[in-house]
Amino acid sequence: MEGKYRFAEEGEKMLARALREEKQEFGSFFLSRLLGMDVSYADDTCVVTFEAMEPMFNPQGTLHGGILATAMDISMGHLLNHVLGAGTTLEMKVQYLAPVTGGLVRCEGSFLRNGRNFFFLQSHARRADGELAAHATSTWTRRSSSPPK
């Protein structure tokens, strides 16, 4: 029973953290707060860190790949916004290289190439021991300021 109680307690803490604020902005929006993500910028990179917790794990006992993909997407999207303004992901490819079973995860987004209309970014996700857990590449475009018709 102790494991189930801990799982529920961690999940409740995650939800409470996400609901503390209603703002939806770069650096702090519901999903990033739910997952406990911290966003920072260094040089030409965006770093997203979070603690891999049991409610984020798949049935195999490792961090769900969608959580890693989300963190890497945030590291790239926040970097694009920080440097050039809001953008939209056109495509993203993720390669999973090693399982994450707990601890701090660090995703570092960086530019591969800046074009006029399209931007190519990458993100590396590392486990607490420094091992590369996943690598992502993506293509972005600037977000239009006018709403779609």
* Domains defined for the chain, CATH in brackets: 36-142 (3.10.129.10)
Burial of 66 (0-12, 13-18, 19+ CB in 10 A): exposed
**pLDDT band, residue 18 (cuts 50/70/90):** low
Instruction: Answer whether residue 148 shows pLDDT above 50.
Output: no
Per-residue confidence (pLDDT) for residue 146, from 0 to 100: 38
- Full-model pTM: 0.86
Question: Which letter, b or e, does each residue of 120-146 get, where b requires 16 or more Cβ atoms within 10 Å of its Cβ?
Answer: ebbbbbbbeeeeebbebbbbbebeeee
Question: Mean pLDDT score of the chain, rounded to an integer?
Answer: 88
